[in-house]
A and B are shown apart, each in its own frame.
Chain A
Amino acid sequence: AQSVTQPDIHITVSEGASLELRCNYSYGATPYLFWYVQSPGQGLQLLLKYFSGDTLVQGIKGFEAEFKRSQSSFNLRKPSVHWSDAAEYFCAVGAQNTGNQFYFGTGTSLTVIP
């Protein structure tokens, strides 16, 4: 069965520090992978996506993620966090044979301290 695991429920980082949010997935075929961000009271905004090709993908707001097939991971990174990055982050997996059914992790809440 398809599933996504985000092992860190909550992370706190200092402004200017680097960030890595972990995501592991379980999927039988080549996955399509996504990272979304949700600010309080808002819907989800797509940060970046991986369909195929280069395993290091760049997204908006200075985020990047690396697909590692051998580790079934798609971790999100940012070299220098800004206070405005405080939000909930969701990793998701989908694939062509499931139509548009996506599976989401339970999210990682990011707090940024000055």
Chain B
Amino acid sequence: KAGVTQTPRYLIKTRGQQVTLSCSPISGHRSVSWYQQTPGQGLQFLFEYFSETQRNKGNFPGRFSGRQFSNSRSEMNVSTLELGDSALYLCASTPGIPGRNEQFFGPGTRLTVL
């Protein structure tokens, strides 16, 4: 079974631009979660999608948004980029049974905002 894939792996953007990141979960997994990882802050939960619906949301501004498609692939979008948005963005998938499944992580997308 293929693992979680994320594209692109690296991105460089400038302040004010917007960016879209993509995540393809493990086949059969219906839940996709997104995290922002920065040095010293660890992993901060952004949101979780299940069956095309946002089920949980972390404490991030509205500039961060996401969606999930019928094939469970997910995208997250960040508008009006700020320098502080530079981070590793990790996607994780689970089969979708609440709480009792470990999350399988992708390699991440490294976003640099200049």
B33 CB contacts on chain A under 8 angstroms: 100-102
The proximity string for B residues 37-69 relative to A, scoring 1 for CB distances below 8 Å and 0 otherwise, is: 000111101001010000110100000000000
B45 CB contacts on chain A under 8 angstroms: 101-104
- CB proximity of A100 to chain B, nearest CB, Å: 5
Q: How many residues of A contact B (CB 8 A)?
A: 27
A8-59 at interface with B (beta carbon < 8 Å): 32, 34, 36, 41-46, 49, 51
Asked if A90 meets B102 with Cβ closer than 8 Å, knowing A100-B33, A101-B48, the reply is no
A100 pairs with B42, CB closer than 8 A? no
Q: How many residues of B contact A (CB 8 A)?
A: 29
B35 CB contacts on chain A under 8 angstroms: 104
Using a CB–CB distance below 8 Å, which chain B residues touch chain A?
4, 31, 33, 35, 40-43, 45, 48, 50, 55-56, 58, 90, 92, 94, 96, 98-108
Q: List 9 A-B contacts (CB under 8 A).
A: A43-B4, A43-B106, A44-B43, A44-B103, A49-B102, A100-B94, A102-B33, A105-B42, A106-B41
Using a CB–CB distance below 8 Å, which chain A residues touch chain B?
32, 34, 36, 41-46, 49, 51, 90, 92, 94-107
9 more CB-based (< 8 A) A-B contacts, given A96-B99, A100-B50, A102-B103? A43-B4, A46-B104, A90-B43, A95-B99, A96-B98, A99-B50, A99-B98, A101-B58, A106-B41
